[in-house]
Amino acid sequence: MMTQLDSQTAGQPATNLVKRHRTSAVVGTTIGVLLVASIVTYLWAATPARPNVQTAGPAEMVTFVSHERGLAGLPQIEQEQFIKSWQGRLAADAGYRDAMRESLKSLSEEERKSFVTAMIRVMKRAFIDDAKRYATLSQQERFKFVRERLTEYASQAPLLKDLTRDTGFKRDLPGGQDEVRQWLMENTTAEERAIGEPYVEALKHISEQDRKQKKD
C-alpha cells in the first residue's frame, strides 16, 4: 500500500513539470513583450520628425521625403497635403527654390536614389488615383476633369524643370507634359497601365486639340 510520503513523492515530478511550463510561458511572454517594445522604440527613434513645410530647410525636407518612414509613413491624404504645401512654397519663394536645388546637387548617389524613389512613389500614386477617378466619371465630366488636370500638370512641369536644373536629375525625373505622361507609363506595372492607359489617351487627345487650336 502506498504511504502518504510515497504519494507526495510521486506527485512531485508532475508538479515540477507544471511549474517549469509556467516559468517558460512567463519567460516567453516577457521576451515577446520586450521584443515588441524594442521594435516600437526603434521605429519611433528611426522615424524622422515631420518638418514644418513653411519653415524647414532644404536638407531637412529632402531627408524626410527620402526616408522610408518619412513621407511614405504618412496617410495618403496627409502625403498629398504635404506635397501640395511644399510645391506652393517652392513656387512662391525663388530663394528657397535655389537653396533646394543646391541641396539636391549635393546628394550622394545613394541619397539621390532614395529621393527619386520616394518622388516616383508619390507621382505614381497621384497618377493612378486620377486615372481611377477618370474611369468613374461621365463623358462630360471626364472632359472637364482632364482639362483641369492638364492645367495643373502644365503649372507643375516648369517648376519641376527649374528645380532640377543642373542637378543631374533630368535623367531620373521628367520635365514637360509629354515627358511626364511617357515616364508614368514606363514606370508603372501592367495592372497600373491597364488602369492608366484610357486616362493617358484622354490627356493626349485633349492636348492635341489644344495645340491645333493654338496653331489656328
pLDDT along the chain (216 residues), means of 10: 50 55 55 50 57 94 90 88 92 93 90 87 86 93 93 80 75 62 74 88 88 77
Residues 34 and 55 in one domain: no
Number of domains in the chain: 2
Residues 56 and 40 in one domain: no
End residue of a domain, out of 11, 27, 46:
46
CA gap 117, 121 in Å, rounded = 6
Residues 72 and 172 in one domain: yes
What is residue 5's predicted lDDT score, i.e. its pLDDT? 45
Q: How many CA atoms, within 13 angstroms, populate the side-chain half-sphere of residue 9?
A: 5
Residues 108 and 39 in one domain: no
Q: Shortest CA distance to 134 belongs to which of 147, 119, 151?
A: 147
What is residue 214's predicted lDDT score, i.e. its pLDDT? 77
pTM above 0.75, yes or no: no
Residues 29 and 79 in one domain: no
For 120, the domain range is: 51-215
Between the two ends of the chain, the Cα-to-Cα distance in Å is 116
What is residue 156's predicted lDDT score, i.e. its pLDDT? 77
What is residue 11's predicted lDDT score, i.e. its pLDDT? 52
What is residue 52's predicted lDDT score, i.e. its pLDDT? 95
What is residue 170's predicted lDDT score, i.e. its pLDDT? 63
CA gap 133, 111 in Å, rounded = 33
Count CB neighbours of 41 within 10 A: 10
